[in-house]
Structure 1
Amino acid sequence: MLTLSRAPFGTRGNLGPTLISWVSLVGWETITVITAAYALLGLLGLLGLPATPVWTLASLVVVAVLVVLFGLLGHATLVWIQQAATWIFGLLTLVVVLFLLTKTDWAKVLAAPPGPWDSGVLATLSIVIAGTGIGWANAGADYTRYLPRASSGWAIVGWTVLGAALPLVVLIMTGVFLSSRLPNLTSATNPITAIGQELPPWMAAPYLLTAVGGLIASADLSIYSSGLNLLALGVRLERYKTVLIDGVLMVAGAAYVMLVAQDFFGPFESFLQLLSDGLTAWAAVFVVDMLLRRGYDARGLIETGPGSPYYYRAGVNWRAFIAWLLGIVVGLLFTVSPWFTGPLARGVFASSSLGYLLGFVVSALVYWLLILAGGRRDVLEAAGGLAPEVPGGGGIGMSQLRLRPRRLVLVGSVLVDLLLYVDRLPERGGDLLAERALQAVGGGFNVLIGALRLGLPAAYAGRIGDGPMGQRVRAELASVGIPVLLPPVEGRDTGFDIGLVEPDGERTFVTAPGVEAELSLPELEGLALQEGDAVYVSGYDLCYPLSGAALEAWLPGLAPGCLLVLDPGPLVATIPTQRLEQILRRVDVLSLNARELQLLSGEEEPTRGAARLCSQLAPQGVVVARVGAEGCWLASAGGVPLLVAPRPARVVVDTTGAGDAHVAAFLAALAAGRSLEEAAHEAHVAASLAVERAGPATTPTLVELEMALAAGRKSGGVWE
């Protein structure tokens, strides 16, 4: 979220809101740790241990250590932990809530007189808004990381909001009802233990365990988002260091509240009210900018130097920055909290502390007026705010694709690779000991994961068996959030291949096909494709008798709103000629290496071969011919083939995933609005990074690719 915030504020102007956001997240981590430590202290009380400063500090340290340890885990592990914690602690919480409701003095609740509208309703509303909405606005986008990658925009917004709001509504109302038995709950030093004392011992232990576990899981989300905020601030530290920094600050803040101030609600209320002024003013500018802007330059958001379209003047969009500061000042003038009271916090504001809402209105209005007063061209157009269209031309007569890819849909094979690293190939009838072995999901998976890493959504439209290989494939796809569009095949297994990798990175494969090689025409016709889908097909699948026949019947009639991408692969010479010719007439992007180019075109000269193949493709079809360390040839109908200069690999470790990385990066760059030449250059840089690593799925991340591109520009590289 704070990376996207560079668009309205500028790459340097965004440092202010990002710093406020980071402080907010550290504060939430501290509050969560305090609450979990109070719960652990109550649990120790059930064992007869007193709530002395020593045990208080011990509870705090234990909770903080657990938060830090879990925070060091990877994203996939955190997703698993959050899923488990949601079910376990969610069900336990529901049991505790139902028990507490049965103990509610309903007569007292229903007979309670209405509270004052200013110091009662509005004051409560201000705390609820600050604590359940504004306080997490800067982290909302981070929570989408824990949803499946294929989720729609509405699903992302809906489930994130529902997941954040529903538990809070239930717990807040439970606290309201519980106050009928505990009138002094809001002033209790340890509210968690105060609630636990209302429960019988057999219920108090599960309640306190639920509180400790659920709060630790919640703190881990904040500590992960906090690390992302530090990256957005430009703090280039390893992730474990950012976690340790947060850990130290958590312990220090929690120790002050629990041992020095010995007051939970005062610091909590001050934290919510004061930081809401900064976050609400930021949100106002962000929302206005988002409503006026039609798109973002994804790569421009990562680049922070003068080359970024969001650099503006000295890296700051002063219109947004001034609007943000004015909103903060107005909010603080009308804010009331235990730690600070603004000079204009009088009347209704003296008891409700709704100053941050005034700040929101001021920031939104000021930014909107400044944009209308002449900032539209400077901010929304000059900075790439209008969604960039694919340029109409570039290079030497180079045409462009008719559509921009929106999603990669792989129709074909995902199987398991068993790679054996050898010093040479064995002679016929011989034997050889491998230096090491690697088992991984490969085939079309390499293209799918490559597209995801570079920001292009992906889906798998192929068959998966329910045997050991199929289970491995399905688990791997699920772990990275790639949806499978076809149901599993029962009683059959997915295939595998054995690859021999030589010291120079060259590999030799033998494949044993499984159910992935048996696609049927009804399965293909039943696929729910979307406008802008780039349907990717490999030559391997065209060689299979069943899949090949089905694809031959289906691909020529592919919907006009979809792109067809073909990589003929090393088996190009074995694809039935009639089948290949018929499919080529529908192909929009043909990606292949030098050997495949020669075999398919019959030409030894790459330029002639690329030009010849262009004439066999769909109108505006493009040929991308990879020629190793020399770069790649790019050709389209009516244009002169263009050699895109390479970025040499520092060392060649494994060429297994190079072609897959190339085509994934090419499509991802086109999806981001790059021209064909730019996309081909980025694709070759991605492939050069891929061969420096071992394993099939070696496509770099978008950040890694951007760093390599930036390094090339600084060193006077060919492409600028």
Structure 2
Amino acid sequence: MKVETNGVNPVTDNERYGTPAGLFPIWFSWNVSILGITYGIYVYSLGLSLWQAIFAGVLGYFLSSTLVGVLAVGGPRTGLPTLTQTRFAFGYHGNKIPTLFAYISNMGWKVTIITLSSTTGASLFATLWPAVFAAEGGHPTLTCLLGWFVVTLALTMSVAIYGHQLIMKVEKYIAWLTGGMSIIFIILIMPHIHWSQSGTTPDAGLLTFIGGMVMAMTMVGLGFLNYGGDFARYLPRSTPARKVVFWTSMGISLPVSILLILGALLADSNPALSNAAASEPIAALTSFLPFWFYVPFSIVIIISLLAAAITGVYSSGLALLAMGVPASRSTTTALNAVIIAFGAFYLLFISDSFLATFQSFLATVSVVLGSMGAIQLVDFARQKRLNWNTAMAQPSGAGGRNGRWTALLSLFIASVVGMGTITSGDPWIAHLVGFLLTEETKTSVFATANIGVVVAMLVGATLYAILTYLCHFDVLPSTIDVKDNNHE
């Protein structure tokens, strides 16, 4: 156990360790969250029947998490983080464009998670010791909230800065803890499902079903496309691809699928509870728990949110390095913790309307991230043909390209198409998106479920495949020995 010194350099063969099964707990631990229940409520709220919501959600989860698993295969093959390996497709400097969007998205969600973890801890203390930690109306005092904010940030920073080895160990124990507690939670919530009232909603049309599937993809899997290789890159180079894909996709999709089914059942049979959970998920879904379980389960909720924050802060540090920031991995991770601290502090203590706007902005950013992931997936065939040569992550003259116009043009066109075919609930962002939709289609399921994200991915992947494999533009990097597969 030591502080990780590797940044965006290839991990050497003598530093590789672990098995692909070790990827399961790291993804499971921060996807087995109570928020997964609200995802089922969101999918159901599109107008789907109970069974449609379940099938659409589970199918969307497995499709999108499989994409994450496929991208994660590049980790053991190259020893590089995902946002460094994307230099193969976009070029050394061209890669900074999609990486910047990935960095913003990553940091935004971590601000939200740190905030949610802090408020959950403060609410727990306000419930246990109201005379000390509760203000008027039962809400946590400012001191209590600030104290939990500091504790949450300190725990996140300490593990993330330490690096890969500690993260893999910590997340394994968190996975066992959160998984076991979630089983008890499911048992306790089952009586609140009104089974006699479930299954009465009529089936919706095919487009609505597809909309539910796409909504599930954007809520979970597509947001992880730029993470996979960060945790798989220490695996031995010869690790079978199918095992990397299987354990990664199962770690993501299994817990959220179970929780989505639970959320859909609640939404279908208990509208009052599901409506409350849609706006304040943690408060609504823990309000009916017996006190003996409420306290430990609240702590587990905090731990699961910390698990997500730790991995996100770690990956955002690698993202800064991929953009060319001249610092060590631990330094960029600490820098990100400071930025997240300012964002979460603003969200907790200053703004009362920032969260909705920022979440709308992050949904818009997912158009670029999804398109980037689709192009990278298509480029895997070229990377494999070139023996996963890590010299392709270098600038022009050192084995790579400064920019590859085929990928960048495909990303630009796909992003324009995606932005033009999605909508936003925020009035300011709404002016920047949906420009390819008619007034009538802006209120359709196609627009409100953001199916345009998947359309953008298909456009980007198809255009890049045509330019690269059919037109044979810009296939080979400059001055690279194709036979060199970086085994030295």
Alpha-carbon shift at residue 331 of structure 1 (Å)? 0.6
- Map of 1:28 onto structure 2: 109
In the alignment, the residues of structure 2 paired with residue 318 and residue 289 of structure 1 have an alpha-carbon distance, to the nearest angstrom, of 13
Match status 1:45 vs 2:130: no
Match status 1:162 vs 2:254: no
Alpha-carbon shift at residue 212 of structure 1 (Å)? 0.4
The change in CA–CA distance for 1:382 and 1:307 in structure 2 (over 3 A counts) is closer
Aligned ranges for residues 271-282 of structure 1 at < 5 Å?
271-282=361-372
In the alignment, the residues of structure 2 paired with residue 168 and residue 383 of structure 1 have an alpha-carbon distance, to the nearest angstrom, of 45
- Between structures 1 and 2, the one with greater helix share: 2
Alpha-carbon shift at residue 200 of structure 1 (Å)? 1.5
In the alignment, the residues of structure 1 paired with residue 231 and residue 389 of structure 2 have an alpha-carbon distance, to the nearest angstrom, of 19
The change in CA–CA distance for 1:149 and 1:7 in structure 2 (over 3 A counts) is closer
- Map of 2:289 onto structure 1: 199
The change in CA–CA distance for 1:38 and 1:263 in structure 2 (over 3 A counts) is farther
Aligned ranges for residues 99-498 of structure 1 at < 5 Å?
99-114=188-203, 121-145=209-233, 151-179=239-267, 180=270, 182-188=273-279, 190-260=280-350, 262=352, 266-267=356-357, 269-293=359-383, 294-296=385-387, 298-304=389-395, 306-311=396-401, 315-339=402-426, 340-341=429-430, 342-346=434-438, 347=441, 348=444, 349-372=446-469, 374-376=471-473, 378-380=474-476, 382=478, 384=480, 388-389=482-483
Match status 1:3 vs 2:84: yes
The change in CA–CA distance for 1:359 and 1:235 in structure 2 (over 3 A counts) is same
The change in CA–CA distance for 1:251 and 1:267 in structure 2 (over 3 A counts) is farther
In the alignment, the residues of structure 2 paired with residue 198 and residue 369 of structure 1 have an alpha-carbon distance, to the nearest angstrom, of 55
- Map of 1:646 onto structure 2: none
Alpha-carbon shift at residue 207 of structure 1 (Å)? 1.6
Query: Residue 68 of structure 1 contacts residue 247 of structure 1 at CA under 8 Å; is this kept in 2?
Result: yes
Aligned ranges for residues 528-567 of structure 1 at < 5 Å?
none
Match status 1:95 vs 2:178: no
Query: Residue 91 of structure 2 contacts residue 393 of structure 2 at CA under 8 Å; is this kept in 1?
Result: no
Query: Residue 86 of structure 2 contacts residue 95 of structure 2 at CA under 8 Å; is this kept in 1?
Result: yes
- Map of 2:18 onto structure 1: none
In the alignment, the residues of structure 2 paired with residue 253 and residue 178 of structure 1 have an alpha-carbon distance, to the nearest angstrom, of 33
In the alignment, the residues of structure 2 paired with residue 368 and residue 148 of structure 1 have an alpha-carbon distance, to the nearest angstrom, of 30
In the alignment, the residues of structure 2 paired with residue 317 and residue 148 of structure 1 have an alpha-carbon distance, to the nearest angstrom, of 29
1:64 equivalent among 136, 153, 162: 153
Name the amino acid aligned to 1:334: T
**1:184-235 CA deviation, whole Å, 9 max, x = no partner?**
23542x4212211121111211221111011112211111111111111111
- More moved, 39-48 vs 126-135: 39-48
* Structure 1 runs not aligned, ≥5 long: 391-403, 405-454, 456-667, 670-720
Please give the root-mean-square deviation of Cα atoms over the aligned residues, in Å: 2.8
Alpha-carbon shift at residue 60 of structure 1 (Å)? 2.9
% identical equivalent positions: 26
Match status 1:16 vs 2:97: yes
The change in CA–CA distance for 1:112 and 1:261 in structure 2 (over 3 A counts) is farther
**1:138-178 CA deviation, whole Å, 9 max, x = no partner?**
11122325767774221111101110111111122222233
- Map of 2:63 onto structure 1: none
- More moved, 63-72 vs 3-12: 63-72
Q: Secondary structure at the match of 2:85?
A: coil
- Map of 1:559 onto structure 2: none
Alpha-carbon shift at residue 59 of structure 1 (Å)? 3.0
Name the amino acid aligned to 1:76: Q
In the alignment, the residues of structure 1 paired with residue 209 and residue 353 of structure 2 have an alpha-carbon distance, to the nearest angstrom, of 23
- Between structures 1 and 2, the one with greater strand share: 1
Q: Secondary structure at the match of 2:380?
A: helix
* Structure 2 runs not aligned, ≥5 long: 1-81
- Map of 1:85 onto structure 2: 174
In the alignment, the residues of structure 2 paired with residue 284 and residue 197 of structure 1 have an alpha-carbon distance, to the nearest angstrom, of 41
**1:534-590 CA deviation, whole Å, 9 max, x = no partner?**
xxxxxxxxxxxxxxxxxxxxxxxxxxxxxxxxxxxxxxxxxxxxxxxxxxxxxxxxx
In the alignment, the residues of structure 2 paired with residue 145 and residue 59 of structure 1 have an alpha-carbon distance, to the nearest angstrom, of 33
Aligned length: 385
Alpha-carbon shift at residue 264 of structure 1 (Å)? 9.0
Name the amino acid aligned to 1:368: A
Query: Residue 300 of structure 1 contacts residue 309 of structure 1 at CA under 8 Å; is this kept in 2?
Result: yes
In the alignment, the residues of structure 2 paired with residue 383 and residue 288 of structure 1 have an alpha-carbon distance, to the nearest angstrom, of 23
Alpha-carbon shift at residue 283 of structure 1 (Å)? 1.6
In the alignment, the residues of structure 2 paired with residue 116 and residue 373 of structure 1 have an alpha-carbon distance, to the nearest angstrom, of 37
